[in-house]
Amino acid sequence: MTVRAIYENGVFRPTEPVNLPEKAQVEFEPKLLSPEGEDRAAQGRIYELLGQSFPSGHTDTAERHNEHQP
């Protein structure tokens, strides 16, 4: 189960309902997430980079495929 939470005033507050009994003890390792807007912007930059092409001098890279196989 993954629970997203916001830390404020010394308390982790879940952002969605959690299916746990009251006073249940849990253990977790917080992982800092960037704001969603930043994630989407970064994802857009990644797709932009992946969409770029650069001249390599090779017209058919597949013809050299077996050179790199064990």
* Mean pLDDT in consecutive groups of 10 residues from the start of the chain, 70 residues: 89 93 92 71 83 80 73
Does the predicted TM-score (pTM) go above 0.85?
Answer: no
Cα separation, 54 vs 34, whole angstroms: 31
H or E element in which residue 6 lies? strand 5-8
> Phi and psi for 24 in degrees, rounded to 5?
-70, 135
pLDDT of residue 58: 75
- The count of other CB atoms within 10 Å of the CB of residue 3 is 14
- The number of beta carbons lying within 10 Å of the beta carbon of residue 12 is 13
Phi and psi at 43, nearest 5°, equal -65, -40
d(CA 25, CA 18): 13
